A and B are shown apart, each in its own frame.
Chain A
Amino acid sequence: MGVKFEHVTKMYPGGRPAVNDLSLTVPTGELLVLIGPSGCGKTTTLRMINRLEEPSSGVISIEGRDIRSYDPIQLRRGIGYTIQQTGLLPHMTVEQNIELVPKLLKWDANKRHERTHELLELVGMSYETYAHRYPRQLSGGQQQRVGVLRSLATDPPVILMDEPFGALDPISREVLQNELKRLQARLQKTIIFVTHDIDEAMRLGDRVAIMRDGILLQVGTPDELLRTPKEEFIARFLGRYIVPHTAPLESIGQFMQTNMIAIQRELADGGRIVQIAETPLWFWLDGEGVLKRVAPALADGGNGWNSVEWAEEDIDCVGERDSAEDVLRRLADGETEALPVVDDRHRLIGVVSRRSVLKTLSNTGRVEV
């Protein structure tokens, strides 16, 4: 049964309806992505599920039971909730934040402690290192991980996520998306996930619901949406995924590869060392995802860590919108194997290599998600 909306409308005083006659069923165990331009009503839709907003009319039910029959406080304690700003309490440690709802529900200390251990292990954060840190002592990605763990703490069947990865740098975002997919494959929660990032929607959603001006335009699996977009607006929204690569190949962004990110090492200051798509380069990023150093990857993985030869400050990298011509020549001449691609804030977003260029040219590049 999962979560069901029946003719739900939300009016604010003196305005157009924020959500207009929405009917939608999210089956148990599905990850549904709500997407649309800002002001389309996706967040309001999400917030009506845990009664942070009350619908003006219509019925919302969870597992077949009208949510109005619950006390709102009890209802919210039974639903996971994660937001973009993490909402972690700055005066509580990671452990205290995760244990917040279990504590409100009066779980005994042993059970809470066990659960916190288990959850931190789940995302590869060691209890000893992180449990007693405060949110401000974590990188953005780590904070958001803890935010997600907090929403999982009581093992709720339904989890609401409001742009949880929206404020993260591109690499952290990709890592957390993969983590969420992995968690979801294991936990099989009913997740409603709001985003405005179409890449995120296509990557994460079992189904994707596209909204505009409070109206649900279409809902379907990413494949269905690509094959049969109902309207012009949706086709435009999916633009990059549908339009074949007939455009002239001009900027680096078209040639780069952004998936297959492997984290080689997490650093104590929130930074990390990553490798992308098996190109023989290691990238040293700070907590914000900014590219600091580059080194040739060592063949044996993490051994002999100290023998890595990090290049001096001046990093050979290219911008996403830079012209491709020069880079293609350098790759063709064998002058370089691969180059990191950065955005305008110098955050690493991908890598361009001979292989990624060939992939793009063979027209399989961006379609696989």
Chain B
Amino acid sequence: MNVLADFWNNYGGQIMDALGPHLFLTFVSLALGIIVAVPLGIFLTRNPRLASPIIAVVSIFQTIPSLVFFALILPFLGIGTQPALVVLFVYSLLPILRNTYIGVRSIDPALIDASRGQGMTSWEILYMVELPLSAPLIVAGIRLAAIYLVSWATIAALIGAGGLGDLIFSGIDNYDTNLLLAGAVPTALLALLIGFLLGMVRRLVTPRGLKVGVAR
């Protein structure tokens, strides 16, 4: 316990200082990702011919190593928080977009047809049928993106965006293992925590009618 207490005395302040920017980077880029990718995913279900090309383009971004991506964007947007947000936002797109698209597409077409036949508008079908039924998959995509973002946000320190990555890279530069751990361990814990919380959200949004046992 003593070791932990000492560790916290030495690094607690730095961790707490770094945590703020780190969470900021993670959640702002995630929020932007949700705002863009969920509507885009729904739009693609209405225009399935556009789906493969657009998802392919977004996938290409995903394959660029993050270090390279940060370097590529440097000449255009410079350093700091803004370019970091742009890169992280682009990374968040694919998991959310893909899960939204698949989630909405996987709904039984007969169900949509019957809903149309009852006289529901396409807007009503969206928020009364498609979104509730695909919510678990969409949230699963958001959860995946959030977990990625927590770790990728460490690399944003390289272009001066701050966050827990600062501690890791300073630790590496100065051969200071403790400082490195002060960045790495909270990052890992943060990823686990966010994964756990969003896992709970996923269970919350799963409609009860899909969870109940089947009669017979």
Footprint of B on A, CB under 8 Å? 50, 52, 73-79, 81, 83-93, 100-101, 104, 134-139, 150, 160, 269-271, 286-288
Interface flags for B117-130 (1: CB within 8 Å of A; 0: not) read 11111001000110
Contact of A91 with B214 in the complex, beta carbons under 8 Å: no
Pairs across A and B, CB under 8 Å, 30 listed: A50-B117, A52-B116, A76-B116, A76-B118, A79-B119, A81-B117, A83-B110, A83-B117, A84-B110, A87-B114, A87-B115, A87-B117, A89-B111, A89-B128, A89-B129, A90-B111, A90-B210, A91-B208, A101-B119, A104-B120, A135-B209, A136-B210, A137-B213, A138-B215, A139-B215, A150-B118, A160-B117, A270-B216, A287-B215, A287-B216
Q: How far is the CA of A104 from the CA of B207 in the complex (A)?
A: 21
Contact of A81 with B118 in the complex, beta carbons under 8 Å: yes
B133 adjacent to chain A (CB < 8 Å): yes
Q: How many residues of B contact A (CB 8 A)?
A: 26
Q: How far is the CA of A104 from the CA of B120 in the complex (A)?
A: 8
Q: How far is the CA of A73 from the CA of B116 in the complex (A)?
A: 8
Closest CB in chain A relative to B206 CB, distance in Å? 9
B17 adjacent to chain A (CB < 8 Å): no
B12 adjacent to chain A (CB < 8 Å): no
- With a cutoff of 8 Å between Cβ atoms, the chain A residues found around residue B129 in the complex are 89
- With a cutoff of 8 Å between Cβ atoms, the chain A residues found around residue B213 in the complex are 136-137
- With a cutoff of 8 Å between Cβ atoms, the chain B residues found around residue A138 in the complex are 215
B4 adjacent to chain A (CB < 8 Å): no
Q: How far is the CA of A50 from the CA of B209 in the complex (A)?
A: 29
- With a cutoff of 8 Å between Cβ atoms, the chain A residues found around residue B108 in the complex are 85
B176 adjacent to chain A (CB < 8 Å): no
Closest CB in chain B relative to A161 CB, distance in Å? 11
Closest B residue to A287 by beta carbon equals B216
Q: How far is the CA of A137 from the CA of B110 in the complex (A)?
A: 19
Closest CB in chain B relative to A149 CB, distance in Å? 13
Q: For chain B residues 142-162, which have a beta carbon within 8 Å of chain A?
A: none
Q: Choose among A75, A90, A104, A286 the residue that contacts B209 (Cβ–Cβ < 8 A).
A: A90
Q: How far is the CA of A81 from the CA of B115 in the complex (A)?
A: 9
Contact of B111 with A87 in the complex, beta carbons under 8 Å: yes
- Given A139-B215, A287-B216, the answer on whether A91 and B115 have CB atoms closer than 8 Å is no
Contact of A75 with B207 in the complex, beta carbons under 8 Å: no
- With a cutoff of 8 Å between Cβ atoms, the chain A residues found around residue B132 in the complex are 91
- Given A92-B209, A134-B209, the answer on whether A100 and B216 have CB atoms closer than 8 Å is no
- Given A101-B119, A134-B209, A136-B209, the answer on whether A52 and B215 have CB atoms closer than 8 Å is no
- With a cutoff of 8 Å between Cβ atoms, the chain B residues found around residue A135 in the complex are 209
Contact of B215 with A270 in the complex, beta carbons under 8 Å: yes
Q: How far is the CA of A89 from the CA of B108 in the complex (A)?
A: 10
- With a cutoff of 8 Å between Cβ atoms, the chain B residues found around residue A139 in the complex are 215-216
Interface flags for B90-124 (1: CB within 8 Å of A; 0: not) read 00000000000000000010110111111111001
Q: Which 9 A-B pairs have the closest CB atoms?
A: A87-B114, A91-B207, A76-B119, A77-B119, A287-B216, A134-B209, A81-B117, A85-B110, A91-B209
